[in-house]
């Protein structure tokens, strides 16, 4: 177990390093003159050169990357080109919002998806068919369209919720719940659909296994078989899909945050992209990569706990 964990941790760090190098290379290796773009065509060449030196753009690329990396390790991701604010504190102010959104969506999705998947697998018949149709449709339709539908129905027609805006949970818990209900619903529907499908098929797989029959032959009732034995064995594939869904949700949050005017990482990445604020874009990319790699690591650990073959080898 510890050796396996350490190996995974090192792989994760290596991946993060490679991603940062690639991202840095691609973001800064443009033909265009960054300082000129920032100052506009009317600026004098001296001013442009001065600005380039100020931003360290006169240094060779690898020196710049190494100094960025050195900063990144100590938690300093540089300064925004627009407004000059510290990238790390900018990211941290947005991170909580996005994480609460995505983690809430993941937890709600997991609970509902497991219930639906098990229900479909065990009951079969029309219940199974209905859940499958929902899964297929929910997973196929992009989540911003689902959000659009929810806004049109619940915010515009019924006026139950404000169509946009965000209330900090610290300011008003009720207000926060009201402001994230539609975004979370939009994110979860697709996630539930995709996960339920997987839970259903891995439950069906497990229920066909020999040991399930043998456990039944020992006189264990359907409840014990399904919830204690089958679900435990089906949890592995379900977790893997949930990990993929989490990555999908992070991407989905970008659009959803923008739609609902939620001040998270997603809307930050949209605004910094439009401005061409490369240090912020770089920060967002590396932070999201770090989150994804951490989540994958956590899932690996959970898989190890679930699966004795992994845990004990």
Report the site for other proteins in 242-301 (rule: CB under 8 A). Answer: 244-245, 247-248, 250-252, 254-255, 258-259, 269-270, 272-274, 276-278, 281-282, 284-285, 288-289, 292-293, 296
Q: How far is the CB of 170 from other proteins (least distance, A)?
A: 27
CA distance 299 to 310: 13
Cβ–Cβ under 8 Å, residues 312 and 28: no
CB within 8 Å of 266: residues ≥ 6 apart: 98, 253, 254, 255, 256, 257, 258
Q: Judged by CB, which is closer to other proteins: 44, or 157? A: 157
Closest Cα partner for 250 from 279, 281, 275, 285? 285
CA distance 15 to 271: 27
Site for other proteins in 57-86 (CB under 8 A): none
What torsion do the CA atoms of 159, 161, 164, 165 make, to the nearest 10 degrees? Answer: 140
Considering only 54-62, 92-100, 173-181, 240-248, which stretch makes contact with other proteins by CB under 8 A?
Answer: 240-248
Considering only 74-82, 88-96, 103-111, 227-235, which stretch makes contact with other proteins by CB under 8 A?
Answer: 227-235
Residue 173's CB: how many other CB atoms inside 10 A?
Answer: 11
Site for other proteins in 202-221 (CB under 8 A): 208-211, 213-221
The answer to the question of residue 99 lying near other proteins (CB under 8 A) is no
Q: How far is the CB of 262 from other proteins (least distance, A)?
A: 14
Q: How far is the CB of 70 from other proteins (least distance, A)?
A: 22
The answer to the question of residue 91 lying near other proteins (CB under 8 A) is no
Q: Which residues of 203-234 are buried (b: 16+ CB within 10 A; e: fewer)?
A: bbebbeeeebeebeeeeeeeeebbeebbbebb
Q: Judged by CB, which is closer to other proteins: 170, or 308? A: 308
The answer to the question of residue 174 lying near other proteins (CB under 8 A) is no
């Amino acid at each position: 177990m510890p050796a396996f964990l350490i190996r995974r941790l090192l792989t994760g760090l290596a991946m993060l390093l490679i991603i940062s190098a690639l991202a840095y290379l691609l973001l800064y290796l443009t033909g265009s003159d960054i300082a000129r773009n920032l100052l506009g065509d009317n600026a004098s060449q001296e001013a442009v050169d001065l600005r380039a030196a100020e931003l360290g753009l006169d240094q060779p690329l690898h020196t710049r990357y190494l100094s960025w990396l050195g900063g990144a390790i100590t938690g300093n991701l540089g300064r925004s080109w627009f407004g000059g604010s510290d990238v790390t504190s900018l990211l941290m102010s947005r991170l909580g919002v996005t994480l609460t959104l995505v983690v809430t969506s993941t937890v709600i999705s997991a609970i509902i998806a497991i219930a639906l998947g098990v229900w479909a697998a065990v009951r079969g018949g029309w219940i199974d068919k209905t859940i499958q149709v929902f899964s297929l449709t929910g997973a196929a339709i992009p989540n911003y369209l689902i959000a659009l539908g929810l806004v049109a129905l619940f915010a515009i027609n019924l006026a139950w919720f404000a169509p946009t805006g965000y209330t900090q949970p610290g300011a008003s818990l009720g207000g926060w719940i009201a402001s994230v209900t539609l975004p979370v619903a939009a994110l979860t529907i697709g996630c539930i659909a995709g996960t339920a499908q997987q839970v259903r098929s891995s439950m069906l797989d497990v229920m066909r296994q020999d040991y399930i029959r043998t456990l039944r032959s020992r006189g264990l009732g359907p409840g014990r078989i399904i919830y204690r034995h089958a679900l435990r064995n089906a949890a592995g594939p379900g977790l893997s899909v949930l990990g993929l869904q989490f990555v999908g949700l992070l991407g989905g949050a970008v659009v959803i945050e923008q739609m609902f005017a939620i001040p998270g990482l997603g809307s930050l990445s949209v605004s910094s992209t439009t401005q061409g604020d490369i240090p912020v874009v770089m920060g967002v990319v590396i932070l999201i990569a770090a989150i994804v790699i951490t989540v994958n690591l956590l899932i690996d650990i959970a898989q190890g706990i679930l699966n004795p073959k992994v845990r004990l080898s």
